[in-house]
Structure 1
Amino acid sequence: MAGKKRLTDNDASFNEDPSLTEDSSADDPSDDDPSFTDDPSDDDLYFEDDLYSDGDFYEEDSDGLSGAVSGGSDDAEDLIEDRESEDAERKLEEAEKERDSYADKKKGNDVFAERRLRDVVLRFYDQFDTGVVPHVVMPSRTKRNLAYNNKSDVWVYGDVESERSAKTVKGAYQLLKTTYVSEFLINEHLKNNRGSTLRELYYITEGWGYAKFGAQSESDRMIEDLEIITSTQREYFHIRPEEDGATIHGPIRIREQTKRGPRVIHCQEDIGEGGYQIPFNVENLEFVDHDAQMIIAIETGGMYARLIENGFDEEYNAILVHLKGQPARATRRLIRRMNTELGIPVAVFTDGDPWSYRIYSSVAYGSIKSAHLSEYMATPEARFLGLQPSDIVEYELATDKLTDKDIQALRSELTDPRFDTPYWKEQINLQLEIGKKAEQQAFAGKGLDFVTDAYLPTRLADLGILKR
């Protein structure tokens, strides 16, 4: 297609389904790729090698990717691709209208997800019917293919594309697995109101014969592929994370759809000090009312508890969100919804080290691995509250020495487009100069009330979130 760059692979050696070999993971590059873990929360920004490797998240030819759709001319292929693209956009619009017509939000979401999955399989049938080799086209998931979307103010995938085609036997197996997974999600999850974790899905495929997956990393990627192909979050497919969600505590009342019916919960008055646990699918939450003036997303549980104990949420009408380290997808989505739908400003409060800055970037700009969902999950208006390297100097906080990995990560961040601002360059270069890092709890050295009585009010005022 015009303006698009297609990654091609003309290697005909892919003639065997890897799941049928003695060592099914031998050809799977994810074994050597640290960005593929068993963590279902898609926290791909936490480790240095994940985000800042020069290569792709996986070798794109490993899944049977091919550059040719058919044996026709480039012009003919462009016409086919343009027609399929227009048809896909039309079907997405129709599915969204149908979803929005349901008064029951959960029912509408389920109908939408089923329709989007069916469209994937029907597209293969249409390609067969028109004499086109079945294929799907997706963006290349690499750091080099990140592009800034001026309309949404987040980082998304650019114009470099990869194509998975049945032109190779291995590619055909991948499309077979795509149809099997789609059928399972429709018939077992959506129709029966059931759900599975990514780990469970991998084991479920054991009985699928040629469509079984050789490793969990392969089935995980399939769910990511379906998200991209269908423009639908996996939570709509009832895919659950392994771990419990993060928590919030603050002046907001929500309505949650549960198996026992709807529940209305005030996230200060109706909960304990542990907070309200964020469900894995926050699309089914409705905001009833709130008195919040700000949202503070907090990396560590210790600081989250400190702010609650000191009554910061009550004094400043703040919704406190415990990120639990690298935030899960549901946490990022809920923060975005509260920001965009309710107009509540967001500030992110983390430790002062390179890994924590990436926690902020995942909230504000999205992650590479889930850049296809940045417009749903990222909150570009989120401000970095701290802990800043300049705070280490100004407040003479207790510190630890930067490790070699810390230094390498900071230098890598200087080349990351999401940190390409004068503010971040100044802060990162300062940290490299002083060679120190600090934790949020270092403020306790100034007294247990210092962070809530002095630091946070001053910093929030500097950001324009709190009026002086």
Structure 2
Amino acid sequence: MPKRKVIHREKPKEKFSYDPKKVLSKLEEYGRSVLEAIKSGKNPYFDIPMRGLNNVYFDEKSRLIKMGDKLSRRYFLNVAHARKFMQTLLIMAYVKRLVSEGKHASLREAYYANKHTIPGTRENTFEDQRESDPIIEDLERMLGVLREEMHITADRRGYIYGDIVIRDGEDEFNASKLGSGGWAVPGTVEHIQFPEINVDYALVVETAAMADRLIEEKFPKKENALIIATQGQASRGVRRLIHRLHYEEGLPIIVFTDGDPYGWYIYSTIKQGSINLAYLSDKLATPEARFVGMTMDDIKRYGLENVTEKLKGIPPNKKGGPTGDYKRILEEMEYPWFQNREWQRQLKLALKWGVRIEQQALANKSLEFVAKEYLPEKINSGDLLP
């Protein structure tokens, strides 16, 4: 094993401070503009940044997927717009009440709280949550804030384990003293504080099974690491937590996923953001994150040829191809942030060999191999992909 490379925590780049007064101020500003338009006999409207691929671009300087400047205008006195205009005002008023009272609501609760029949009609304000969720996303883009800052949360997913002290309201605890299950990341992490951090870096792990394995092998203690289990695609709460730990606390971020197009996409969203949430990349993405594995090189380096899985779908050189995993890899090869020699080589090898490799395949060596050899060897030698 190579000599241990000391991983230094970086100097914090920012300090986050959530101010509910700013959210309320923005809401009141929109409310006043609508009222003034009505008083002056004008048609009230909202300008909403457009969602979708045609209003998204990759910013080379910040290395983030960002939203463009295209807007759609939503009028009150327009038959095609009136319903959504009304729904927008309803949700804005609801958010104002939540923030003012210091209460939080789930996406589902926000839907039911604002669903009712309009007096004198048979029309409901909302027929389905598929109507209210997009309105909340519209507000995020209009106000330039996270929905969590509007006190609207989603289901929680993911957990952390390691020597880090967390202050959550009146509670303060160490995430390594809560049993092997660690601390479940809540839907919103805006109010969380970190009084004490005694780790060198955060290791973001795709599967809960692998995170559990590392905890059982005492990897966090031996390697002075914080484990962040995403349990699949990282939730907004987990991505925001990763962002805050890096930019506010200076923790280096290392990502460990399966060696397949889905795992690589998980890394991509943590690092650069996503098209759907391009308007939140500067609050959710962490461009300085590095990738430890699994890689195609790992297959031969560690003798894992017999425990690979075939890529799903039809290869590009076969009739009807490319489909499935092959199509996804070709798409990822076109991502601007994968336009470097290291990643292009990995993706081309996956296509050439037609295989993928899961984290759990390392158990073929031994249960302890991933914690005692694989990760320490690669991380301590700096064998990481950009």
User: TM class, shorter-chain normalised?
Assistant: 0.7 to 0.9
Determine if contact 1:383/1:463 at 8 Å carries over to the other structure: no
What residue number does 1:263 align with? Answer: 171
Question: Shift of the alpha carbon at 1:211?
Answer: 6.3
What residue number does 2:265 align with? Answer: 358
Query: Structure 2 matches for 1:229-244, cutoff 5 A?
Result: 229-242=142-155, 244=156
Q: Which amino acid aligns with 1:441?
A: Q
What residue number does 1:402 align with? Answer: 311
Secondary structure at 1:342 match in 2: coil
Determine if contact 1:118/1:182 at 8 Å carries over to the other structure: no
CA distance in structure 1 between the aligned counterparts of 2:343 and 2:44, rounded to whole angstroms = 45
What residue number does 1:372 align with? Answer: 279
Secondary structure at 2:331 match in 1: helix
Question: Shift of the alpha carbon at 1:256?
Answer: 1.1
Question: Shift of the alpha carbon at 1:412?
Answer: 1.6
Question: Shift of the alpha carbon at 1:455?
Answer: 1.2
Question: Shift of the alpha carbon at 1:327?
Answer: 0.8
- Structure 1 gaps of 5+ residues are 1-99
CA distance in structure 1 between the aligned counterparts of 2:41 and 2:311, rounded to whole angstroms = 59
Q: Which amino acid aligns with 2:175?
A: C
Choose which of 190, 194, 202 in structure 1 pairs with 2:103. 194
Query: Structure 2 matches for 1:210-229, cutoff 5 A?
Result: 212-229=125-142
Query: Structure 2 matches for 1:174-193, cutoff 5 A?
Result: 174-187=84-97, 189-193=98-102
CA distance in structure 2 between the aligned counterparts of 1:422 and 1:126, rounded to whole angstroms = 56
Determine if contact 1:303/1:441 at 8 Å carries over to the other structure: yes
CA distance in structure 2 between the aligned counterparts of 1:161 and 1:415, rounded to whole angstroms = 27
What residue number does 1:109 align with? Answer: 19
Per mean C-alpha deviation after superposition, the further-off stretch among 371-380 and 415-424 is 415-424
Per mean C-alpha deviation after superposition, the further-off stretch among 409-418 and 318-327 is 409-418
Question: Shift of the alpha carbon at 1:185?
Answer: 2.0
Q: Deviations over 1:232-282 (max 9, x none)?
A: 11112221213x33111111112111xxxx1111111x3111001112221
What residue number does 1:457 align with? Answer: 376
Query: Structure 2 matches for 1:6-21, cutoff 5 A?
Result: none
Choose which of 302, 316, 320 in structure 1 pairs with 2:223. 316
Q: Deviations over 1:190-218 (max 9, x none)?
A: 23333322122223333152561233222
Question: Shift of the alpha carbon at 1:129?
Answer: 5.0
Secondary structure at 1:191 match in 2: helix
Q: Deviations over 1:383-420 (max 9, x none)?
A: 11111122123323211111111111111212233433
Tell me, yes or no, if structure 1 residue 431 matches structure 2 residue 340.
no
What residue number does 2:158 align with? Answer: 246
CA distance in structure 2 between the aligned counterparts of 1:185 and 1:439, rounded to whole angstroms = 42
**Total equivalences in the alignment:** 353
Query: Structure 2 matches for 1:115-154, cutoff 5 A?
Result: 115-128=25-38, 133-154=43-64
Bigger relative CO (Cα 8 Å, ≥ 6 apart): 2
Determine if contact 1:173/1:211 at 8 Å carries over to the other structure: no
Q: Deviations over 1:112-167 (max 9, x none)?
A: 33222222222323444566532222333223432233553311112333332335
Secondary structure at 2:178 match in 1: coil
Secondary structure at 1:308 match in 2: helix
What residue number does 1:160 align with? Answer: 70
TM-score normalised to structure 1 length: 0.71
Secondary structure at 2:248 match in 1: helix
CA RMSD of aligned residues (A): 2.1
Tell me, yes or no, if structure 1 residue 414 matches structure 2 residue 333.
yes
Determine if contact 2:34/2:44 at 8 Å carries over to the other structure: yes
CA distance in structure 1 between the aligned counterparts of 2:139 and 2:117, rounded to whole angstroms = 18
CA distance in structure 2 between the aligned counterparts of 1:224 and 1:127, rounded to whole angstroms = 24
CA distance in structure 2 between the aligned counterparts of 1:214 and 1:335, rounded to whole angstroms = 36
CA distance in structure 2 between the aligned counterparts of 1:464 and 1:394, rounded to whole angstroms = 13
What residue number does 1:53 align with? Answer: none
Secondary structure at 2:172 match in 1: strand
TM-score normalised to structure 2 length: 0.85
CA 1:458–1:123: 2 relative to 1, 3 Å: farther
Determine if contact 1:176/1:211 at 8 Å carries over to the other structure: no
CA distance in structure 2 between the aligned counterparts of 1:195 and 1:239, rounded to whole angstroms = 6
CA distance in structure 2 between the aligned counterparts of 1:130 and 1:423, rounded to whole angstroms = 61
CA distance in structure 1 between the aligned counterparts of 2:89 and 2:356, rounded to whole angstroms = 49
Tell me, yes or no, if structure 1 residue 277 matches structure 2 residue 184.
yes
Q: Deviations over 1:68-102 (max 9, x none)?
A: xxxxxxxxxxxxxxxxxxxxxxxxxxxxxxxx9xx
CA distance in structure 2 between the aligned counterparts of 1:386 and 1:415, rounded to whole angstroms = 20
Question: Shift of the alpha carbon at 1:176?
Answer: 1.3
CA distance in structure 2 between the aligned counterparts of 1:390 and 1:211, rounded to whole angstroms = 57
CA 1:167–1:424: 2 relative to 1, 3 Å: farther
Per mean C-alpha deviation after superposition, the further-off stretch among 157-166 and 283-292 is 157-166
CA 1:163–1:322: 2 relative to 1, 3 Å: same
Determine if contact 2:200/2:225 at 8 Å carries over to the other structure: yes
What residue number does 2:234 align with? Answer: 327
Question: Shift of the alpha carbon at 1:311?
Answer: 1.1
What residue number does 2:209 align with? Answer: 302
Q: In percent, how many aligned pairs have the same letter?
A: 34
What residue number does 2:289 align with? Answer: 382
Question: Shift of the alpha carbon at 1:314?
Answer: 0.6
